[in-house]
Amino acid sequence: MNDSIILHDKVFKPYLSYDKIISAIDGVAAKINADYEGCTDIPVLLCVLNGSIVFTGELMKRLKFNVELVSMKLTSYDGVRSTGKVRQVMGLSGSVKGKRVIVVEDIVDTGNTIVDLMDIVLGEGASDVRICTMLLKPEVYKKDVKLDYVGMEIPNAFIVGFGLDYNEIGRNYKDIYVLDPVATEQLNEKMKYYILFGPPGAGKGTQAAAMVEKYNLCHISTGELLRKEIAAGSELGLKAKALIDAGALVPDEVVEGMIENQFKTVKGVKGFLLDGFPRTIAQAEALDAMLAKNSQEVTSVVSIMIPDKMITERIKHRATIEGRADDANDATIANRIKTYHDKTEPLIGYYRKAGKYAEIDGTGSIEDVRSKIFATMDKF
């Protein structure tokens, strides 16, 4: 059997192999053939849509007498739970009047559908009705209606595959899978998406390491991602270097593609810490759309604020320590500060309106600023 599968928001693990299912169908077919051996009439196989389509097809191939195929559709399920109320979606596709009918179900649990089916088929004038189900949950089946042919008995668990679905998908798998609650819970654990915000030189890189360690986050620095491309001498790196040297921003589509790739490939963390992205309203909107595709959203913006004079002092100091030539030029620094004020500061209003903006005074010591950051993040 294949590994676990993900359907919508749930994880299902292998349960019944195709070979085991087919063996059970062989057994059911043998019993039906014995009961109808030598029949001169043409019984009706009533396929209960949509779940029993696959089972009905396999069963028909094994029957040694002529049958007529009729279908109808009832439902009592909403997601993974039975509502207890049966609703007729599609009536009988053919007449059963005066005919012997074999109702073919994929699975019987509460039996509410079976009771309604019996009433409907007998009400339409069937001379005899027998029930055939591929699977039975004996723990929950308490009805008086006799089940004439049962492939296999299973526990009261939610399963998919071989015709059975979860919100209309999963029917195509040849094996049967059972809901994995632990893996499903892990899948749906809400990821955290923090944005570390502030002007150049505010100390974002210094604080990020402690934030990542304390909250098990993946630090995504657009600056670091771009520097890797530059070091590698890639086409992207060469284009980015020219822009960075001039103090300009790298095109949005390049940055957004790198960020989304990180979201998809990084595993084993409880969230992400975005440093250097978004820098514009357009990028913020793109990030919202990116996260919304997976029903996620920005958790909080942690903004470290310092005055312009301190920005210049810190950037020059960083340039002497790290040897980053792009930080040493006064004109470049001035351009970065202007770019920040013109294009990035509007994000304050964007996230404040969304109730996700938290501002930290970044002029204190590293330890003082860090304690303020942790106090803010702990609220989320």
Instruction: Write out pLDDT tens, residues 316-358.
Output: 777 677 666 655 677 888 888 887 777 778 888 999 999 999 9
CB neighbour burial string for 186-202, b if at least 16 within 10 angstroms, e if fewer: eeeeebbbbbbbbbbbb
Mean of pLDDT values over 154-164: 96
Give the count of alpha carbons within 13 A of 235, CB side only: 1
Please tell me which residue in 143, 174, 316, 324 is annotated as part of the active site. 324
As annotated, the residues of the chain forming the CATH 3.40.50.300 domain(s) are 190-378
Please tell me which residue in 10, 204, 370, 372 is annotated as part of the active site. 204
CA-CA distances (angstroms) from residue 231 to 44, 218, 237, 326?
Answer: 72, 22, 7, 14
Active site residue 87: no
User: What's the CA gap between 355 and 119, in Å, rounded?
Assistant: 56
User: What's the CA gap between 380 and 291, in Å, rounded?
Assistant: 18
Mean of pLDDT values over 50-63: 96
As annotated, the residues of the chain forming the CATH 3.40.50.2020 domain(s) are 5-180
User: What's the CA gap between 328 and 319, in Å, rounded?
Assistant: 6
Determine how many CB atoms are found less than 10 A away from the CB of residue 2.
10
Using one digit for the tens of pLDDT, what is the confidence trace for 238-284?
877 887 777 776 778 878 877 887 888 788 888 999 988 888 888 99
Active site residue 336: yes
User: What's the CA gap between 342 and 311, in Å, rounded?
Assistant: 16
Complete DSSP assignment for 301-321: EEEEE--HHHHHHHHHHHHHH
Active site residue 100: no
Please tell me which residue in 318, 356, 370, 372 is annotated as part of the active site. 318
Please tell me which residue in 130, 137, 336, 372 is annotated as part of the active site. 336
Residue 160 scores a pLDDT above 90:
yes
pTM of the model: 0.56
pLDDT confidence of 60, banded at 50, 70, 90? very high
Using one digit for the tens of pLDDT, what is the confidence trace for 133-150?
999 999 999 999 999 999
Please tell me which residue in 10, 137, 241, 279 is annotated as part of the active site. 279
Question: Which architecture characterizes domain 5-180 according to CATH?
Answer: 3-Layer(aba) Sandwich (3.40)
Using one digit for the tens of pLDDT, what is the confidence trace for 328-339?
677 888 888 887
Q: Which CATH number is correct for 190-378, 3.40.50.2000, 3.40.50.300, 2.60.40.10, 3.40.50.10490? A: 3.40.50.300
- H helices within 63-139, ranges in order? 112-123
Using one digit for the tens of pLDDT, what is the confidence trace for 93-112?
999 999 999 999 999 999 98
User: What's the CA gap between 22 and 30, in Å, rounded?
Assistant: 12
